[in-house]
Structure 1
Amino acid sequence: MSGAQAARRRPTGARFGGVYQEEEAPAAPAPAAAAPRGARFAGAPVQPEPQPEAAAPPLAPPQRTGPELVSLAGRITALHQGGAAHESAALTAQAAVLLAPEDVARLAVLLHAQGPAGAAGYLARATVHGSPEQAAATLAGLRRAGLAEEAAGLFHALWGHPSSQLPPLLAALERHGLAGDGLTLLWERASAAPAELAALATALRAAGRAEDAHRLLHQATGRRSGELAATALELDETLAAELSAQAARLRSPADLAEYAAALTASPPRYRALLAAVAALDEPRRRSAVAALRALGLPLR
């Protein structure tokens, strides 16, 4: 699965009516579109939105008044209590990506206090189907509002972001003072499958986040030698050389020799590892060379 509209696992069972199975993520709105009004959103008439010009900057969703949000929370609750749990969930998911982030947090406060059990948490988690800015700003707003459980649910949902979307998400988290959360996301991703890990390191570098790519590869050096080699073979030669340099400094000679043996399938990557070994301090270099020699691996 990949992309902003990939299917995601949503909560099931009695906490919110037992209606959330594997569903298609709600489509993220065009950046300039205002949040819907009408009966589903507090009863105001629906007004057609003008189409923005191609060069026009994105417009933030209009901020909702307190009575509008109270009405919306009441609508969500009434639908659920009336047996229309699916409609209640759909309205909640729509609000998560169409309301301004500060209004999502305010709506979560209302649902936490008086809505169906689990509705506030579902609202928070559903913001991952919007833009990275929507998710990051909502996470910050939930924490300011003291909704620790809902904020934790949203943060855990962010772990499933596709690699291509992680660089803008990290940037959005930093803008909202949540850089530490970004570092945690990177730490979690270091255990991803080799192909996914390589794709993420490549995406980070392409987005100008070379330091994050370096940090990710550094964390990945703790993996089993075979997985580490599989990652190197998925990376381009520049990133693979960086991974090998870190492995040469951090792994034991025996582990490094196992890693090297798997790299012989790619002569350029194997030569980069030998260059990394040659750059080590003398005691460590001698130990690494002895381990390579013990496996009958070439030394040049």
Structure 2
Amino acid sequence: MTSDTAPSASPSPGPEPVSVPSPAPRLGAGPLGIGLRSLAAIAILVVANLAVVPFTAVLSAVPGLRELGSELSWATLGIYACLGSVMWGTAVLLAWLWVRFVERRRLADIGLRFTPSSALWLLLATLAAMGVVLGTAAVLPSTGPAPSPEQVAEQGPFLMVLLMMLIPAFLVQGFPEELLFRGMLLSAMRSRPVLAVAVATLSFTIIHLVSNGWQQTLGDRFLFLVMPFGFSLFATALLVWTRSLWAAVGVHGGMHLGTNFSQLLPPTDPALSWTVAGVVFAVLGVAILAVLLKRGRGIPDGAERWR
């Protein structure tokens, strides 16, 4: 016995969703575009540093505040944190303007997003960078005894001293500089990873010619570049490996923290320890990048691939 019931018609499929391609950047990938992007990253960093000048001028003009800045206190920490926030905010604002209107992308596309794993990568990369700096300082020949507990205590309460190290390491230097060079600049050339690594690393290294440290001669200034060159490569390697900009921030901040904590160890020749640590960073960075790039693991190219 057959049924007179007609088979039900299957629902007609709806229209296929149309994917809208991302708008092309206003700058090309040629030498001009690369050069302008490098100059933009450097210029934003310079402007961010200059943004605090009016505030420091006001603080210097007020007698009570001028004396306050010469001693470690909670008020001093608050002032430094506010100044660091001005620089941080300026860098983020200018980076957003560049990414939005020149690259036609979002800050999330260059790595500025926080996920559950971001804090982990930040912490692990910080510890890794500290380990390189402290390990180098520990194995090099010392030039004298380690500071005594009394000398260490003279620096102030541990929490205050730690915060005074964290503010410049991350708020003033680590985060803004990594956002610009390992985020904005590196990701803009993500289709050519080797070139991107080279340009971002060299641009970041060059700005440190004007950094102040142990340099006394012109040769010292160029020798000083070994460290930023090295940890720039290491930061890039961890970024590519972890897919997290926060790993690069951790390397940057960890380098500064390691340098500060190395003062608890027997002193070494500053130029030697600085240079050797930079070489170690460079070797590790190149080795990791070589393996990753050979396996086809390039630079993250969108928010969905950042962690």
Which one has a larger percent helix, Structure 1 or Structure 2? 2
Q: Bin the TM-score by the shorter chain.
A: under 0.3
> TM-score if structure 2 supplies the norm length?
0.27
